């Protein structure tokens, strides 16, 4: 099974999973990169997975329907281009012979979902849209800090080897912030150096892994004393994880 990040727009990734004959794509905000990849490898588009309703994740769906020989899957509680199969927490879908579990992860949007495969294609795979980024998390456009904390906690509990397939190349920007939060975290410094070398070669920093994110991502480290202390210096009124996350998210919104 092949996992490919197709660049789209300026910093999006459309994830493609294929077996050499059939392919699935995740969050196709535009159609051209998908069509080019399908044609280059002579693949049949078997399904589309959607994590949330934002235009840069759904904008290419209708243009891909003539190539699609299967369903569009998406979150039940969001408006996705019809027709689509509406999914909610705990449901399972089978694509390319792989079973994916649906996980509700509200916060970035109110009905955001993620797709988790426990390992039929090698290491486990997580398609998490804009909820979890490498080194960061999505802005709270529709949800609350408490919702985002619960969502990130659910993802953080997945196996450490899980490949984290985020939808944006935000890693270096996120790690700049992570270093401000934890200037003494050597894992952050080492990972930033590796990511800089990848980007210098024009390569993606993704997928990450759950184990790596637990080492470097301040939004998964809200119970750490150093992270909480930094959050208190930037508006958190307690060391309670939701308060820490809320302060970190506001700090990150304004961080340059």
Instruction: Give the active site residues.
Output: 52, 54, 56-57, 108, 130, 168
Kindly state the tokens that stand for 24.
């699935």
Instruction: List the alpha helices (DSSP H) in 111-224.
Output: 145-156, 171-181, 186-200, 210-216
Give the residue carrying structure tokens 């998964």.
Answer: 220
Rounded CA separation 243/227 (Å): 12
Q: Are 148 and 223 in contact (CB under 8 A)?
A: no
- Residues 6 or more apart whose CB falls under 8 angstroms from that of 120 comprise 97, 98, 99
Residue 67: phi and psi, rounded to 5, are -95, -10
DSSP bridge partners of 168: 12
């Amino acid at each position: 099974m092949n996992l490919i990040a197709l660049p789209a727009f300026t910093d999006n990734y459309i994830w493609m999973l294929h077996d050499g004959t059939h392919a699935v794509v995740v969050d196709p905000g535009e159609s051209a990169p998908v069509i080019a990849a399908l044609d280059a490898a002579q693949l049949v588009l078997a399904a589309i997975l959607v994590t949330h309703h934002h235009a840069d994740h759904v904008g290419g769906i209708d243009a891909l329907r003539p190539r699609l020989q299967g369903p569009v899957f998406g979150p039940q509680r969001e408006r996705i281009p019809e027709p689509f199969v509406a999914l909610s927490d705990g449901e399972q879908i089978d694509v390319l012979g792989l079973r994916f579990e649906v996980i509700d992860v509200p916060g970035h949007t109110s009905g955001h979902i993620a797709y988790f495969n426990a390992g039929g294609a090698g290491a486990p795979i997580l398609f998490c849209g804009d909820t979890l980024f490498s080194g960061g998390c999505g802005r709270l456009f529709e949800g609350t800090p408490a919702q985002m904390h619960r969502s990130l906690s659910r993802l953080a509990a997945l196996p450490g080897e899980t490949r984290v397939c985020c939808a944006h190349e935000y890693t270096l920007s996120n790690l700049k912030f992570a270093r401000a939060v934890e200037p003494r975290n050597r894992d952050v410094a080492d990972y930033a150096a590796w990511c800089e070398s990848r980007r210098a070669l024009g390569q993606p920093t993704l997928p990450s892994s759950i184990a790596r994110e637990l080492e470097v991502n301040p939004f998964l480290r809200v119970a750490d004393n150093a992270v909480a202390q930094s959050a208190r210096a930037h508006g958190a009124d307690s060391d309670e994880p939701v308060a820490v996350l809320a302060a970190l998210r506001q700090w990150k919104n304004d961080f340059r």
